[in-house]
Amino acid sequence: MGILVLLVSSALISGSEVAFFSLNYRDYDRLGQEGTGSSKTILWLKEKPRKLLATILISNNFINIAIVILSDFVLKAALPESVFNEWASALLGWFIEPGAEQVAYWGKGISFFITVVGVTFLLVLFGEVAPKVYARINNLKLARLMARPLSFLMQVFHPFSSVLVNSTKLFEARLERSAVGGNTSRADIDEAIELTVSQEKGAGQDIDILKSIVKFGDVTVKQIMRSRVDVVAVDFRIGLSELLEVIQESGYSRIPVYENDFDNVTGILYVKDLLGHLQDPDDFEWQELIRPDVHYVPEAKKINDLLKEFQRERLHMAVVVDEYGGSSGIVTLEDIMEEVIGEIKDEFDDEVEVVYKKIDDFNYLFDGKTLLNDVCRIVGIDTNTFDDVKGEADSLAGLILEIRGQMPKPDAEIVQGAYKFKVVAVNKRRIEQIVVTLPKGPFN
């Protein structure tokens, strides 16, 4: 009975690993809307993936060890040592005349072999394969069932899981250092680029491009995307004349089309498909020209992987979704290329992409929504300068909120290291303008 209970526990714990780590953003969106106790626990566990995995592995190992020990005890109780000695004597009798010590030695070997083979079969079939197949099909159901037990186990095994997680982080850090050439850091690579290229004509642009290529694989979609508040998109119910006005004003060749709101993008309209219908009446059903093959990407996706997808699928635009399935914005092939070679201008780009004002050599005025990467490029500092304090923020306003922890008041001043930020304009919802002061500049 005890072995059966332990086997069921092992199956539930093993299945939980697949169940929790196979949930997608749609599942999390559904759980967020439910608001039940188990749903909240699952969402809480989602925020601690490393600790959750460590707890599952530690719990499963303890249970498996208990199964092995209990199985050995049960086997010895059911089959006394004399039985194994008889089997060993009969087996050895085919080859030699065995002595008492040989029979005892081989008897223990047979007992150990039966225990190992039997327990391994039970654990693999009923403790690993079967529960993981079930969990793959019923991941949300099993996650709800195991949410509270795992949160309890996470507290019980907190000391062990913390050691395991910290050791893993240390190991990963060493692997990352070796991946870029032993103990070579990003700063060392940047310095080597500057020393190598600085003597050449027009070296400034070449240096920026080379540095961008080095960090290309570390940049996420969220860092380069156009946020939803800045996206030009149209409702599929508008008339042709209104649609043409939006196209003419924006100058874009591809327009996302949504139903009700931007969280429900139904397709992409290619402006070139409208060329033969410019003189059609306002009730022309332009919706038939919408291409429904919308490509969705998560915010955390690396842009080097997205570039490969764009090349493979022959796409130029994707809708960016957050962890709950809502649309965060869009990312285009041009956005990816600009991350390496700088801003690309065409005949429709009348406005400067990054709105800022250079007050003097040490002070710059930026919009709060300006991306941190763009701010660093413009003022001439390393794009990794604020990595230690920016948290999940990608914009200048987000950095201020991460540092302050609350919405600042107008004229508030924030000092971070050698840099100073002054909030110039703010409303109830966001920080609108910020002055960035560089080191050695006037702090007035």
pTM of the model: 0.42
Q: Report yes or no: 365 and 356 within 8 Å, Cβ to Cβ.
A: yes
The predicted pLDDT at position 268 comes to 92
* C-beta of residue 67 within 8 angstroms of C-beta of residue 3: yes
Walk along the chain (444 residues) and give the pLDDT tens digit of each residue. Answer: 677 888 888 888 888 888 888 887 778 888 888 878 888 888 888 888 888 888 888 888 888 888 878 877 777 776 666 676 676 777 776 766 666 777 677 777 777 777 777 777 877 887 788 888 888 888 888 888 888 898 898 888 888 888 877 777 776 666 655 554 444 555 555 555 555 555 555 555 565 656 556 566 677 888 888 888 888 999 988 998 899 999 888 888 899 999 888 889 989 999 999 888 888 888 888 988 999 888 999 988 888 888 888 888 888 899 999 877 788 899 998 888 877 665 554 544 544 456 788 888 889 999 888 888 888 888 888 877 888 888 878 888 889 988 888 888 888 899 888 899 999 988 877 888 999 999 874 444
Contacts for 380-383: CB closer than 8 Å, 24+ residues apart: 381/438, 382/187, 382/190, 383/215
Instruction: Mark out the alpha helices in 227-270 (DSSP H runs).
Output: 240-250
For residues 298 and 28, the answer to whether their CB atoms sit within 8 Å is no
Number of Cβ atoms within 10 Å of the Cβ of 55: 27
Going from the N-terminus, what domains does the chain have, and what CATH number goes with each? 2-165 (no CATH), 186-218 (no CATH), 221-341 (3.10.580.10), 356-437 (3.30.465.10)
What distance in Å separates the CA atoms of residue 127 and residue 121, rounded to the nearest whole number? 9
Asked if 382 and 376 touch (Cβ cutoff 8 Å), the reply is yes
Output the pLDDT for position 434. Answer: 92
| 38 and 148 Cβ atoms separated by less than 8 Å | yes
Nearest residue to 76 via CA among 127, 120, 89, 68: 68
Tell me whether strands 327-332 and 356-358 are parallel, antiparallel or unpaired.
unpaired
DSSP string, 355-369: -EEE-SSSEEEEETT
Name residue 359's amino acid.
I
Distance, in Å, from the CA atom of 87 to the CA atom of 54, rounded to the nearest integer, reads 43
Q: Which tokens in the block code for residue 327?
A: 């649309």
What is the widest separation between alpha-carbon atoms in the chain? 105
pLDDT at 234: 92
Both tokens of 438, joined, read 């560089």
User: What string of DSSP letters covers 169-204?
Assistant: HHHHHHHHHHHTTTT--HHHHHHHHHHHHTTSTTHH
Q: Name the residue among 264, 266, 262, 258 with its Cα closest to residue 238.
A: 258
Give the pLDDT confidence score for residue 365 in this predicted structure: 92
Sign, Cα dihedral of 354, 355, 358, 361: negative
Please answer whether residues 16 and 146 qualify as being in contact, where contact means their C-beta atoms are separated by less than 8 angstroms: yes
Would you give the DSSP letter of residue 276?
A: G
pLDDT at 187 (0 to 100): 59
pLDDT of residue 29: 80
CB atoms under 10 Å from CB of 195, counted, come to: 9
State residue 353's pLDDT score: 57
Q: How many helices (H) and strands (E) does the chain have?
A: 17, 12
